[in-house]
Amino acid sequence: MSLCINPLCSQPKNPDNILFCQACGSELLLEGRYRAMQTLGEGGFGKTYEVTDARNNTLKVLKILINNQQKAVELFQREAEVLSFLNHPGIPKVEANAYFVYFPRNQAEPLHCLVMEKIEGLDLQEYIRQRQHRPIDQKLAIQWLTEIVNILQQVHSQNFFHRDIKPSNIMLRATGGLALIDFGTARQVSGTYMVKQPQGQVTGIISVGYTPQEQLNGQAIPQSDFFALGRTFVYLLTGKEPNDSAIYNSYTDEITWRNYAPQISPPLADLIDQMMARFAGNRPINTQAILQQLSAIDRPTPLYQQPLSVSQNQQLAIHEYAGFWTRVLAAFIDGIILYIVVALIGFVFGFIYAAVLQTAQGVEGIAAILGVIIGWLYYALMESSEQQATLGKQALGIIVTDIDGKKISFGRATGRHVAKWISAIILLIGYISAAFTEKKQALHDMIAGTLVIKK
């Protein structure tokens, strides 16, 4: 069956073996090669058909413009120009002469037509709808965001920007992979554009919830695409439109979406928020900056930063906590090391002090303060280092971690050292609790939230 694309045709269905519509007499074999087979969509100023190309028997998409206003025609012709200029797997392909004008029988107004690659699949708005608005996970979000940003990198590198990114303009192929469609609103960054922009002569393109403020004011720039892409991923990660009252506050013009996307990490949420920054200057400077951040987010976390699994925690509970006497011996070794170091430094300092001031009065107090500082730096720096242990602990094969088995920070190591002084001097308990607690924690470990375990 062939369809007549004349909008006024009363009986558009025709057999495949005729060249002119039986009802209105309009041509059915468009440009001598295309036959419209079925309607794919209709709305706004256009209508789309699935067509067969008689030259190679392939399926393609035919877009026709059913509104001949000058601005609509300009936008339609621009899409043909942009698609013929760009070459990327994520952008629909068009051949030379893919744009043409078609005259239905007995009509003065022509139809502007564009034939392009047919992408089998669903747009992301329909995809989420068919998933019953179930959000995507972080792994897929990173994969898709990387794909779209790579497509935008190609678009922006050719001095174009899209201006209408939203879920319905991103296609998920049935074979996997994304494609960015509908380049009718794309603009080229040129001298002419930069002159027209301040004078308010640039066409305004608005998609509610996805269009940034500068574009509403006729001042769209490449970073406007980042805003729309960020809002698109809010939709994909929450299943909610950006203007949904559940996440959008009309009084502050802000969206609070993170509570609806608990499946993603703070770094990815931070990147999306940066892309959606109200002021364009606060968004990523270019596509490469976004790709670099995505690469860092997707990089595997070092093992010492990964939370221990349940089985690992069970194993630690049974086998790997450092025992009381092991910890006392490690503390004894560290004490000897510190005594020798402080004594040597104190001797040198005392000698210099006495030589300079010609008196030894007060040197003991200063040496004591110096010893406290050296002890603090020794414990805090060593336990927060990559070794996670002082020399005494290293000698006995034990390390210091937080309660999740991760490496501790310098601040936490300092807190642990101070807690050790408090528990030893004020409470006179020190390591004694390590002999009785389930996780072999001394009092200072309980205060600091740390564990001492075997490597």
Asked whether residue 110 is assigned to any structural domain, the reply reads: yes
Asked whether residue 304 is assigned to any structural domain, the reply reads: no
Asked whether residue 178 is assigned to any structural domain, the reply reads: yes
Catalytic-labelled residue, pool 16, 123, 164, 270: 164
Q: Is the CB of residue 324 less than 8 Å from the CB of residue 332? A: no
Q: Is the CB of residue 11 less than 8 Å from the CB of residue 30? A: no
Where is the domain boundary, 299, 320, 348?
299
On whether both 221 and 109 belong to a single domain, the answer is no
Count of structural domains, the chain: 3
On whether both 276 and 221 belong to a single domain, the answer is yes
DSSP3 helix / strand / coil % (the chain, rounded to 5): 45, 15, 40
On whether both 111 and 128 belong to a single domain, the answer is no
pLDDT in tens, the chain (455 residues): 899 999 899 999 999 999 999 999 999 999 999 999 999 877 656 788 999 998 888 999 998 987 778 877 887 787 777 777 777 888 888 887 889 999 999 888 899 999 988 888 999 999 999 999 999 999 999 999 999 999 999 888 876 777 788 998 899 999 999 998 876 544 333 333 333 444 444 444 567 778 887 777 777 788 889 999 999 999 999 999 998 889 988 888 889 999 999 999 999 999 999 999 988 889 999 999 999 999 998 876 554 444 444 344 433 343 367 777 787 888 889 889 888 887 887 777 666 766 666 565 666 777 678 778 888 888 888 888 888 888 888 888 888 888 767 788 888 888 888 887 776 665 555 666 656 666 677 777 777 778 888 76
Q: How many distinct helices (H) and strands (E) make up the chain?
A: 14, 16
Cα–Cα distance list, 245 to 227, 231, 262 (Å): 19, 15, 19
- Please report the pLDDT score of residue 308 as a whole number: 42
On whether both 424 and 359 belong to a single domain, the answer is yes
On whether both 373 and 437 belong to a single domain, the answer is yes
What's the distance, Cα to Cα, between the start and end of the chain in Å?
A: 74
Report the run of H or E that residue 179 belongs to, with start and end: strand 178-180
Q: Give the residue from 185, 173, 151, 163 showing the smallest Cα distance to 82.
A: 185
266: three-class secondary structure by DSSP: helix
On whether both 352 and 285 belong to a single domain, the answer is no
Q: Could you identify the residue written with the tokens 């927060």?
A: 384
Cα–Cα distance list, 337 to 55, 238, 344, 419, 433 (Å): 86, 56, 11, 21, 25
Q: Which residues form the domain of 100?
A: 2-117
- Please report the pLDDT score of residue 356 as a whole number: 67
On whether both 289 and 358 belong to a single domain, the answer is no
Euclidean distance between CA atoms 135 and 260, whole angstroms = 9
CATH of the domain at 203: 1.10.510.10
Euclidean distance between CA atoms 435 and 180, whole angstroms = 64
CATH of the domain at 108: 3.30.200.20
Where is the domain boundary, 67, 94, 117?
117
Q: Is the CB of residue 172 less than 8 Å from the CB of residue 123? A: yes
| Angle separating helix axes 266-275 and 138-157, nearest 10 degrees | 30
On whether both 168 and 263 belong to a single domain, the answer is yes
Active site residue 445: no
What is the model's pTM? 0.57
On whether both 146 and 269 belong to a single domain, the answer is yes
Provide the CA 374 distance to its chain's centre, in angstroms.
Answer: 44
